[in-house]
Amino acid sequence: MSKHPHLTNPNIGLGCMNLSHAYGSPVAEEQAIEALHQAFEMGYRHFDTATLYGGGNNELLVGKALKDRRDDFFLASKCGMAMVDGKKEINGRPEKHSQAM
């Protein structure tokens, strides 16, 4: 049984990569947090991030913005790729995944 039986699998989610990684300069933290709050208020209940995005900063940003609502949405975070000393590292070994969590 789900820990959160009031949640159903959402039809649409928000990919959070652009808030701190790729396709131009990262969004200012205050603006990014506001965007995440607005997405939640609009009904988004699935947020997608990854260890690689912004060298881990994207996960921190999503956590900071939505920590008070954690029981009310799905969170996907991909691991296996990360920034280590400014270089992309690919490591899909189980022990590395445990470290990422």
Residue numbers annotated as active site: 53
Written as six digits, the tokens of 59 are 């996960």
**Helix pair 57-66, 29-42: axis angle to 10 deg:** 50
> Which strands make up the sheet holding 14-15, listed edge to edge?
14-15, 46-50, 74-78
CA dist., res. 52 & res. 61, Å (int): 13
